[in-house]
Amino acid sequence: MQKLFDEVASLDKRCYEEFCLSEDILMEHAADGMAQFIRNKFAKESKVIIVCGSGNNGADGIACARLLHKDYKVSIFYAKEPKSQMATLQALRANAIHVNICDDILECDVLVDSIVGTGFKGEFDSKIQDIIEKMNESKSYKIACDVPSKGFTADSTLTMGALKKSMFLDNVKDSMGEIEVLDLGISREIYEGETNWNVLDMDDLILPQRDKKDSHKGSFGHLALACGEKSGASILSALSAFRFGAGLVTLVGFKDESIPYSVMYSHEIPLNATALALGMGLGDEFSDKEMLKFLDNRLPMICDADIFSMDVILEILSRENLVLTPHPKEFVSLLKITNLVDITTEELQKNRFEYVEMFCKKYPKTTLLLKGANVIIGQKDKFYINPHGTSKLAKGGSGDVLSGLVGALLAQGFSCLESAINASLAHTQLALNYKGADFSLTPEDLILEIGSLE
């Protein structure tokens, strides 16, 4: 698990004021981290072009060029002439040892984007846009310094000091590449302060191990799932939950269903149920009276899909031990029903962190899992990002499998937050483990892959 921050300017300032480190020292370490990355990945004499802007991001790139000079065929291309104090100083240092300055972006082995960093909020002029377009056309290995400049697509992003939220918006996922954090003269443990946000690593995954030998099926919980109009969705969830360790799984419905032999079917919630699942393929199948059987029950509950467009969600939100797993469109509906805000899905995607925090502040007893390319999980004032999502999961039914994973963990005694975090990590790991073509993954494939988790 890694810490995540809105910005790092305050962390840099703390380095100056508390640790007696200067801006120059931090920059030299950042540049050395970039240079070491290139040295570890590319042979000496490789051709490197570093495209630099006028500010401190450009200064990082200029310093990196100086450090690689002579060992690599390195050149600086100035998208804009050095302007900031540090950029001007670094340019003087590079000039003093005769680092090459080029006037065009030619083919090279390594192309580094050092045009702007996280502080840039405006729009590029046509000249910079043309430069970035040419950079993207290059067949070189592309590295972004701190963050990719707007429109640039990196193979790797080397970010300074700590991870930033702006790197984990869904709309920049394709441009970030692999992310690596560079130290700035002190360890991250010292550099990083306190934060309510964290990025999950796959090593954080905790599976529902069966360590106790003296046990039976009832020892591992009983998940009851509402089986509604589109029963296939709840059946996928049930199979997912059963394979993820739930000892018993029952579909609760009010019509005859053809179901897999491994799960049970009932018109009533079983008396020994330990968790509930509601919403997957629900449709209009349940009457208000039938819905009350789920709503009047105080067991831990996972809610998904259709439930987010129903007014009954307001009653559900009054309970404790609740996990919600909406996708963006469903979350927009949820925000409107709860009178928090009326926005478009596009607006949500631009400000995912803000709206998740808003919802969790109003409903601190609820655990929210907002699906997306980067999954956000929040409870009260604790927030986590699962960045391991893949387009393999962009298929109908993938979310039903996730709901089953969450339900299985709730049934086995995991807390709501633990269930959301570990189900999400398991879900993305299942997709990553799948060896078939990206476009061919089905919910059934995900369920089969559960057995490979370790």
Sheet of 275-278, strands arranged across: 163-164, 2-5, 197-199, 382-386, 375-379, 366-370, 322-324, 301-303, 275-278, 222-226, 248-252, 264-266
Tell which phi-psi region holds residue 306, choosing left (phi > 0), alpha (psi between -120 and 50) or beta. alpha
Angle between helices 85-96 and 23-41 in degrees, nearest 10: 50
Please report, for residues 241, 346, 408, the alpha-carbon distance to residue 44 in angstroms, rounded to integers and kept in the order given.
Answer: 52, 45, 52
Per-residue confidence (pLDDT) for residue 231, from 0 to 100: 86
Return the structure tokens found at 395: 């298929």
**pLDDT score for 290:** 75
Q: Which two tokens stand for residue 333?
A: 């509906």
Kind and range of the H or E run holding 52: strand 47-52
- Predicted local distance difference test score (pLDDT) of residue 97: 97
Reported as a single tens digit per residue, the pLDDT across 350-405 is 999 999 999 999 999 999 999 999 999 999 999 999 999 999 999 999 999 999 99
Tokens standing for residue 249: 């799984």
pLDDT digits 0-9 by tens, 249-258: 999 987 767 7
Whole-number pLDDT of residue 216: 73
DSSP state of 148: P
pTM of structure = 0.92
The torsion angles phi and psi of 186, rounded to 5 degrees, stand at -140, 160
**Range 261-285 burial, b when 16+ CB lie within 10 A, else e:** eebebeeebeeebbbbbbbbbbeeb
Q: pLDDT digit string (tens) for 19-71? A: 999 999 999 999 999 999 999 999 999 999 999 999 999 999 999 999 999 99
Residues of the chain with pLDDT under 70: 214, 256
Note whether 447 and 239 are within 8 A (CB).
yes
Q: What is the pLDDT of residue 255?
A: 75
Angstrom CA distances, 373 to 64, 86, 428, stand at 32, 36, 10
Q: What is the reported pLDDT for 431?
A: 94
| Residue 251, CA atoms < 13 Å, CB-side half-sphere | 30
- Measured N-to-C along each axis, helices 85-96 and 56-68 cross at an angle, to the nearest 10 degrees, of 20
Which pLDDT does position 168 carry in this prediction?
95
Distances (CA, A) of 52 to 42, 49, 116, 378, 406: 21, 10, 8, 38, 46
Residue 281: the pLDDT is 87
Domains of the chain: 2-194 (3.40.50.10260), 202-452 (3.40.1190.20)
- Would the CA dihedral through 55, 58, 60, 66 be positive or negative? negative
